[in-house]
Structure formats: structure tokens, C-alpha cells
Structure 1
Amino acid sequence: MIALIDAFSQALDPQAFFNAFYDAVWNIDDAQGFGLDIWGRIVGVTRALYVSDEDYLGFSEASDAFPFGEGIFYGGGNFTPNYKLSDDAFRRLIMAKAALNITDASIPAINAILMALFPDHGNVYVRDNLDMTITYVFGAPLSKVDYAIVSQSGALPKPIGVSFTVEQP
């Protein structure tokens, strides 16, 4: 019996399984699908994120607004476009939330987090406006998903009682 178990153990190398499991689940840089879903549960985020595709009738930012009866109204599609994030976008959200869980929300700490999360977005930093607001400044335009992560997910750190805006070209 011991010889049979020994032969079985030699035939199947469990180390390869454990290495593959580690890469697929616990290594945040290589994890995909199921592994990222586990990480999302650990830090408290989900793959579903509201990402706005369209700008509908409104008055606060419209420079070319039409009066009532001439403008374009909401067409009746999915009004709350919740999207399932791709693995790369979900990994970015997980890392943002994990950083939020351990940061002190100081300006240098927030700057370090922004530069780590958005290295391909030019000069990225946070600006203290000295009126209980901060501005996340990006040197390059954000995609709709990245903008949703920054503005709506609540995963980026900010001091308590401070509101924020997002500035991008």
C-alpha cells in the first residue's frame, strides 16, 4: 500500500498544481476571473460598476443646449448601465480599494497611490484646494471605466469630510 501511494505521489507532482493555483488565484498581478473575484470579496468590491455611456438632457454643463421640445431626450435604453469590469479594470479597482484600506489619506500617500494605479496617464496627482475639497488631476484623458473607478466607486482615498473633483484634459 505504501509503495502504491509513493508511486502515485511521484506520478502526480502536487507542486505544479499549487504553483498554478497560486498564480491563478492569490497572485494579484496574474490572477484572472475567479481569482480576481476572490480578491474583490476580500477587499469589498464587485465587478459591477456604473459606467455612464451617454449624456442626456441637462443644463449644468451644456454649452450647446436646446430648449424644451427641440433637444434629445433619453431614448429608453438601459438607464443605469452597470458593466461587468474586465480583468484589468477590476484589478485596478481592487488595488485602489486595497490601498484605501491601508492609507492614512495624506496628500503624499494619495499621490503615491494615484501614480501606482495610473502610470500611463501622464502627470497624476492630487491638489488640495484649501476649501475642504481636493482635485484628482490627470495628465491624460481617462477612459469611461477609469473615470467611473475614480469618481463613483469610492475606492480612491480622500480625507473624511472632504469632497473631490476630477480634472483631466
Structure 2
Amino acid sequence: MIDIRETILAQYANSPALTSIIEHFNAAADPRRLIELFLHEVWNPATATGWGLDVWGRIVGIGRILKIDTAGYWGFSQGYPSSRTFGEGIWYSGQGATSNYRLPDNDYRQLIFAKAAANISSASIADINRILMILFGNRGHCYLANTDDHTMMLVFSFRPTPIDVGIIASGVLPRPSGVRYRYMFVPPTKNDFGNDIL
């Protein structure tokens, strides 16, 4: 309690031993600090960390551990999407082509917000573009383009990292029925003043 003396009966208020016991118990049992800590570390997803973010991840249905592609292997893109050509990759040895990556808190928070938006979206292009802005808005232009072959093309103006591709492949973006995603990297071009344009 904030002012414990208001709760002590008048006949006991002048007893130093009794008031000392009550004040020490009040200080030990004061829940304000714990409530404040709980609200900051768990309840508010914008400030939650660690275990609190893991709770929010379970609520929205997305895990912190992502499977991402390891180093690019030499081959053809039909067999393995991130295959590299001559002089760029290593031969595939038959080992697992993915590895687990644990997202740090800030990246996981963005993923949680994106998944929460996806849970209530109508899977329209406008909704998916909003989710892409949550995920990659600070890195460059990224948008969804509709094609005529039952695919949706994710167009990046920056080079997506394997973690970016792992986030997209994790199922955070809503996908209309019968449609699959493809990725395309379009490097930005420079205007006459040296600024990036699309």
C-alpha cells in the first residue's frame, strides 16, 4: 500500500514495535514493483523481452526458432532455390540443407507483430504489403506483385538475407488458396543526383 498508516487502527498507531512490523511487511509484500515489471517485460509486446516475447509468440502462433538456408550450393535453381553458379557455391554433400537460427528479441518482436497482423488480415495484396512494411520497412522497398500464373511475386529493392527468406518461409504471410510465393531482387537504380530510385 502507498500509505500504510491509514490502515492501522488508532489504538495501535503509536506502538513503535507494531508499526515497524507492519511497515516492514508492507515493504516486503508491496506488489507495485512486480506488477510494473510484469507489465513492462511480459504484458506489453512493444517492450516485452525474453520469456515475455516467447509467450506472445505462442499466443499468435509463431516460434522464435527459424529454419534458414545454409551456404549456397552449386546447382540449378529448379532443384534448390538458393543454388549458386560456377565459382560461387560448394557441392551439396547430402547433409541437411537447413539450420536452426534463434531470432533476437527485436527481430522476433517484428515477426510477432507481423504474424498478429496476418492472423486478422483478409490476405489481400494491401494487407500483405502492410505486413511486409512491418517486417522490412526500415531496410528498403519490398512489395507484393500479382502475376498471371497463380503466384505472387515478392519484390525486394535490397538483397534479402537467408534470415529474411526464412521469415517469409515461416508462414508469417497469409497466402490465398492455390497461390505460392516467388522472390525477386531488383537493385535500385540511381537518378541524375545519385539518389536511389525504383
TM bracket, shorter-chain basis:
0.7 to 0.9
**Which residue in 2 is equivalent to 1:85?**
103
For 1:105 and 1:79, how far apart are their aligned partners in 2? 30
Q: What secondary structure sits across from 1:55 in the alignment? A: coil
Q: Partners in 2 of 1:81 and 1:155 — Cα distance?
A: 19
Aligned residue for 1:154, secondary structure, equals helix
The residue identity in structure 2 corresponding to 1:141 is R
TM-score normalised per structure 1:
0.81
Instruction: Specify which structure has the bigger relative contact order, considering alpha-carbon pairs within 8 angstroms and separated by 6 or more residues.
Output: 1
Aligned residues: 163
Task: State whether residues 89 and 146 of structure 1, in contact with CA within 8 Å, keep that contact through their aligned partners in structure 2.
Answer: no
Alignment of 1:53-72 (within 5 A): 53-60=70-77, 61-64=83-86, 72=90
Provide the residue aligned with 1:16 in structure 2: 33
SS in 1 for 2:172: coil
The one-letter amino acid of 1:19's match is: E
- Unaligned 5+ segments in structure 2 are 1-6, 9-18, 78-82, 188-198
Partners of 1:50 and 1:82 within 8 A in 2: yes
Residues 56/9 of structure 1: CA separation in 2 closer, same or farther (3 Å cut): same
The change in CA–CA distance for 1:62 and 1:73 in structure 2 (over 3 A counts) is closer
Per-residue CA deviation, residues 18-75 of structure 1 (Å, 9 max, x unaligned), is 1211110121111111001101111112222111121124223544279xxxx94346
After superposition, residues 14-163 of structure 1 pair within 5 angstroms as: 14-60=31-77, 61-64=83-86, 72-74=90-92, 79-150=97-168, 152-163=169-180
Q: Deviations over 1:120-158 (max 9, x none)?
A: 1222211111322111222222232122101x2011122
- Among 158, 164, 169, the alignment partner of 2:181 is 164
Partner AA of 1:92 in structure 2: Q
Runs of 5+ unmatched residues, structure 1: none
Greater C-alpha Rg: 2
